[in-house]
């Protein structure tokens, strides 16, 4: 902040520092438009996740930043330098590949030293930096092994060390955990997050797993069909999805197709106060926003309704109910574990929890 005071010009530029700037980038492969005019900024030290289904263009965007593909239109800038004009080996960006892409003919140590050697780093410096990188990922005892002798998780760590030893400004991770089994995955998620916080290196992480995205990221950029659907923190994106797609992709939700008239939304038997313009509208209502209620008690700003039990899915601490209300509308409700429920029950939700989303 002392920098800002010493330099009065920066006082009125309220935007935070930007490490990577993607400007109107589009990419086509022949007739197929994989990315449509993407604009995205990444701040230094940020953990940003590109989240999307397969075919959404997230890996393509990563490959454009790494330099393996050229954008059809638009520009990519990093630290005030035009990045997309540089070949991959001149970018201060390193990648952890989906299947690690370790060099099978080199030992773990030589794999990690590779980036330093090709850039003619003095030999005296290489040894220390490689050892340090291997220690960081707890792989120093495997330094002389071949990659083929290592388990998936160990290969993953070597791939991380091989990238980080070059001290990149930006680390790209292409679904790095997708080849690991569930337990190892959770553990590696924790290690990745810790490593990122300690090193302060900017991470751009690609995944199709929304839980992973929520657990790790400072911000999530949700891609859909080659366009950005929403860019926000995990909490923000979950609490305030802007589109029906986002609401459904991140977590579970009930999509209520309602008619808004005179500040009231009507969806079958349900009614709640809603702002915004009149006409057809879609609302997202998270299952956990709906609670079981005792009949007769009404608090202002809440919506009461009666619904019949259809299904009950028990999952330990909570259970998911599928209920139908008077208009036939099917709703999913997540409640603390209750024991078996039958027949009709009273439910309640806060009107403010019904979030109006774009179709």
Partner 1 sequence: MSPSTPTRRSRLLTIYAALVFAFIYLPIVILILYSFNRDGVGGFPPRHFTFEWYRQLFADGPIWDSVLNSLIVAAGSVVLSLTLGLLAALALDRANFPGKALFRRLVLLPLILPGIITGLSLLMFAVVSGVQLSLFTVFLGHGTALISVATTELFAGLQKMDRAQEEASLDLGATPWQTFWRVTLPNLKLSLIAAGLLIFTLSMDEIAVTFFLIGRDNTLPLEIWGRLRRGITPEINAVSTLIFAVSVGLIVIWYRVRTRGLGADAQELLERP
Q: What residues make contact with partner 1 under the rule CB under 8 A? A: 66-68, 87-90, 93-95, 97-99, 101-105, 114-115, 118-119, 146, 148-149, 162-163, 166
SS (H, E, C) 168-206: CCEEEEECCCCCCCHHHHHHHHHHHHHHHHHHCCEEEEE
Tell me how far, at minimum, the Cβ of 163 lies from partner 1, in Å.
8
User: Could you count the other beta carbons within 10 Å of the beta carbon of residue 339?
Assistant: 7
> 160 and 96 in contact (C-beta within 8 Å)?
yes
Q: How far is the CB of 102 from partner 1 (least distance, A)?
A: 8
Q: Which residue's CB is nearer to partner 1, number 89 or number 342?
A: 89
Quick one: 129 or 345, whose CB is closer to partner 1? 129
Point out which residues pair with 357 in neighbouring strands: 282
Nearer to partner 1, 107 or 302 (CB): 107
CB 69, CB 25: distance < 8 Å: no
Q: Which is nearer to partner 1, 84 or 319 (CB)?
A: 84
Q: What's the token pair of residue 347?
A: 């439910």
Residue 218 beta carbon to partner 1: minimum distance, rounded to whole angstroms = 24
Give me the least distance between CB of 286 and partner 1, in Å please: 39
* Shortest distance (Å) from residue 247 CB to partner 1: 35
From the CB of 103, what's the least distance to partner 1, in Å?
Answer: 6
Tokens of 30: 């022949």
CB of 96 to partner 1, least distance (A): 9
Burial category of 98 from C-beta neighbours within 10 Å (exposed 0-12, middle 13-18, buried 19 and up): middle
Distance of alpha carbon 59 from alpha carbon 116, whole angstroms: 26
Element (H, E) at 5: helix 2-6
Work out the burial of residue 281: count CB atoms within 10 Å of its CB; fewer than 13 is exposed, 13-18 middle, 19 or more buried: buried
Instruction: Using the minimum distance from each CB to partner 1, give the nearer residue, 102 or 220.
Output: 102
Q: For partner 1, which is the closer residue by CB, 66 or 228? A: 66
Residue 169 CB, shortest distance to partner 1, in Å, is 13
Report how far residue 3's alpha carbon sits from residue 5's, in angstroms, rounded to the nearest whole number.
Answer: 5
Q: What angle do CA 17, 23, 26 make, to 5 degrees?
A: 150
Structure tokens at 216: 């790790």
Are 268 and 328 spatial neighbours (Cβ–Cβ below 8 Å)? Answer: yes
Task: Give least dist CB 141 to partner 1, A.
Answer: 19
Q: C-alpha angle 160/132/167, rounded to 5°?
A: 55
Nearest to 356 by CA among 247, 250, 283, 259: 283
Pick between residue 102 and residue 195 the one whose CB is nearest to partner 1: 102
Total residue length of the chain: 359
Between 204 and 307, name the residue whose CB sits nearer to partner 1: 204
Given the complex with partner 1, which of 171 and 188 has the nearer CB atom? 171
């Amino acid at each position: 902040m002392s920098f800002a005071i010493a330099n009065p010009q920066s006082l009125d530029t309220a935007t935070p520092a930007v490490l990577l700037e993607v400007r109107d980038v589009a990419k086509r492969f022949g007739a197929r438009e994989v990315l449509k005019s993407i604009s995205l900024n990444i701040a230094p030290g940020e953990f940003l996740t590109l989240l999307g289904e397969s075919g959404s263009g997230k890996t393509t965007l990563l490959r454009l930043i790494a330099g393996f593909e050229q954008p059809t239109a638009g520009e990519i800038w990093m630290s005030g330098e035009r990045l997309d004009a540089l070949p991959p080996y001149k970018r201060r960006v390193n990648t952890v590949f989906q299947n690690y892409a370790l060099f099978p003919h080199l030992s773990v140590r030589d794999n990690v030293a590779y980036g330093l050697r090709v850039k003619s780093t003095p030999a005296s410096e290489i040894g220390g930096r490689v050892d340090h990188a291997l220690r960081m990922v707890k792989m120093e005892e495997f330094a002389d092994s071949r990659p083929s002798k290592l388990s998936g998780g160990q290969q993953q760590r070597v791939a991380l060390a091989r990238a980080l030893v070059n001290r990149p400004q930006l680390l790209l991770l292409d679904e790095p955990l997708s080849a690991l089994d569930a337990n190892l995955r959770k553990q590696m998620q924790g290690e990745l997050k810790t490593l990122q916080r300690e090193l302060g290196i900017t991470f751009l992480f690609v995944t199709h797993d929304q839980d992973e995205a929520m657990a790790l990221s400072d911000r999530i950029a949700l891609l859909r069909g080659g366009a950005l659907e929403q860019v926000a923190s995990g909490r923000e994106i979950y609490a305030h999805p802007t589109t029906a797609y986002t609401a459904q992709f991140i977590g579970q939700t009930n999509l209520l197709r309602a008619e808004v008239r005179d500040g009231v939304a009507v969806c079958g038997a349900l009614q709640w106060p809603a702002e915004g313009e009149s006409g057809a509208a879609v609302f997202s209502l998270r299952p956990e926003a709906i609670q079981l209620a005792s009949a007769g008690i009404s608090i202002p700003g809440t919506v009461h309704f009666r619904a019949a039990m259809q299904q009950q899915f028990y999952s330990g601490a909570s259970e998911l109910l599928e209920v139908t209300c008077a208009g036939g509308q099917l709703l999913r409700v997540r409640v603390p574990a209750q024991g078996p429920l039958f027949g009709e029950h009273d439910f309640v939700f806060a009107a403010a929890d019904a979030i109006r989303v774009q179709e």
